[in-house]
């Protein structure tokens, strides 16, 4: 066999190998890429008065030993980049209505009662694996406008340097008001599914992951 033929064959082998490697890398990147969590409005009730207690247990407020009213639940999940990698030290800012559907906010017109033992607001950080977890009560529905009751939901604002900040809302599976909510139904079915937290069996734990876009 001539040196010319050997040389050509080696070139072809390198070309095929490189092409396969590129194809495998592209396929892997496609599999690991994740859809960014769709944004939603922060609403008018983000806390504007500072409070000293913003820890991960919203069922107790300050030094009180009396639990907040309502169904106690746990929400946990991961904050990920759209490259599929977990984001450590992301700031997870959450706020919500109490079990009666009332926010502890000066401008909330809802006549439902306040709950002095409900914290209502927390600021957390994800761990080294991008995980967060907090304990709270399932928020109540409340009237937003004539003919429109908002389903139970929790507001999230998540940020980390190197990623685009996002504000969104988490909903609960099997909630009838989800089907008629104007904000949730403004999204595609696929986008809606990413905002609906799944219950872990019959437990009081709900799972909700958030995906941020890499800057």
SS3 211: strand
Instruction: Specify whether the CB–CB gap between 87 and 36 falls below 8 A.
Output: no
Catalytic site residue from 103, 132, 163, 171: 103
155 given a catalytic annotation: yes
How far apart are alpha carbons 86 and 131 in whole angstroms? 8
Q: How far is CA 176 from CA 24, 149, 169, 172, in A?
A: 43, 11, 17, 10
Angle made by CA atoms 28, 24, 9, in degrees to the nearest 5: 170
Give the residues across from 153 on adjacent strands: 171
Decide if 100 contacts 112 (C-beta within 8 A): yes
Catalytic-labelled residue, pool 153, 160, 163, 171: 153
Contact 58, 108 (CB under 8 A): no
Choosing from 155, 160, 163, 171, which is the catalytic residue? Answer: 155
Examine the residue annotation and report whether 164 is marked as an active-site residue of this protein.
Answer: no
Q: Catalytic annotation on 132?
A: no
SS3 155: strand
- CB of 173 closer than 8 Å to CB of 207: no
Residue 131 three-state SS: strand
Q: How far apart (Å, rounded) are the C-alpha atoms in residues 88 and 77?
A: 13
- 103 in active site: yes
Identified catalytic residue from 102, 150, 163, 171: 150
Q: Of 132, 142, 163, 171, which one is the catalytic site residue?
A: 142
Question: Is position 153 annotated as part of the catalytic site?
Answer: yes
Task: Write out the catalytic residue numbers.
Answer: 103, 142, 150, 153, 155
């Amino acid at each position: 066999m001539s040196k010319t033929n050997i040389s050509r064959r080696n070139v072809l082998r390198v070309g095929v190998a490189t092409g396969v490697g590129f194809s495998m890398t592209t396929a892997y990147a496609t599999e690991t890429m994740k859809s960014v969590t769709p944004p939603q409005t922060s609403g008018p009730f983000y806390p504007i008065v500072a409070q000293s207690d913003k820890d991960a247990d919203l069922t107790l407020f300050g030094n009180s030993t009396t639990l907040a009213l309502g169904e106690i639940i746990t929400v946990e999940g991961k904050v990920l980049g759209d490259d599929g990698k977990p984001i450590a030290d992301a700031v997870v800012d959450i706020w919500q209505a109490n079990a009666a559907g009332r926010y502890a906010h000066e401008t909330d017109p809802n006549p439902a009662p306040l709950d002095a033992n409900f914290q209502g607001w927390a600021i957390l950080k994800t761990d080294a694996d991008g995980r967060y977890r907090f304990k709270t009560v399932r928020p109540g529905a409340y009237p937003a406008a004539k003919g429109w009751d908002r389903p139970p939901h929790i507001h999230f604002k998540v940020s980390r340097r190197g990623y685009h900040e996002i504000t969104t809302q988490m909903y609960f599976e099997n909630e009838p008001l989800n089907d008629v909510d104007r904000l949730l139904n403004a999204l595609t079915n696929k986008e809606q599914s990413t905002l609906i937290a799944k219950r872990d069996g019959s437990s009081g734990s709900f799972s909700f992951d958030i995906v941020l876009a890499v800057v």
